[in-house]
Amino acid sequence: MQENNLPVNEINPPIPEQGGKSPWGKFIKKGLFIVGFIFVCMVIAYLLSQALFATVPIKGPSMEPTLYTNDRVLLFKLSNYRYGDVVVFKSDLIDEDGDNKYLVKRIIGLPGDTVEIKKDSSGEYSVYLNGERLIEDYLDEAEPRAESSMDLITVPEGKFFYLGDHRTQSSDSRTGLLGDIEEIVGRAFLKYHGEDFFNELTPIPRVKA
């Protein structure tokens, strides 16, 4: 019998991989990545919310009918303040614990503005800003806009003139106190009543300049 001298290529059998990765490992790794990503996003969102927003409860009648006791306001901390904005700020008034009081009032005058309270053509007291009588649609029509006159003042740099919307129940800049712009916590842009955020949720519109 003739011998076959053709070369033979030997093929070694495949060697099974040692420690092969399970598909569950990839799944777990991806899941951990997603959870970590969500956690980081939540932390960033929380930090941003703390930096940009604050919630403050309302006590007292000085801002009625805009705000009532047990209302809560949502403040935007980064804002260019202007006439008519409702703001929360640290005042020079001291409470019973010896701490500065935080007030919620409406900005009437900013640095360089002149503010005066005097009788208008109807004989009623009105607020005049830079010589122009203010049309204060945010006030209760049944309540007086002011009870007495106030000499013209010019708001100094870094300060603002503030009034409460319920003029007969508000202690404000008519007493000679001015607010410090640097002490403003933020501008109120939403309000709700009680603990439930969606209870009577209402925007607080900015007054047209």
Q: Choose among 205, 84, 186, 175: nearest CA to 135.
A: 84
Structure tokens at 156: 């100094």
Q: Report how far Cα 144 is from the mean position of its chain's Cα atoms.
A: 30
Q: Check if 105 is active-site.
A: yes
Inter-residue contact 84 to 106 (CB < 8 Å): yes
Instruction: Look up 77 and say whether it is catalytic.
Output: no
Q: What are phi and psi of 109, to 5 degrees?
A: -130, 145
Q: Are 88 and 102 in contact (CB under 8 A)?
A: yes
The active-site residue, picked from 29, 49, 59, 62, is: 62
116's CB contacts (< 8 A; 6+ apart) are: 127, 128, 150, 151, 152, 153
The one catalytic residue in 91, 105, 170, 191 is: 105
Instruction: Give the residue numbers marked as catalytic.
Output: 62, 105
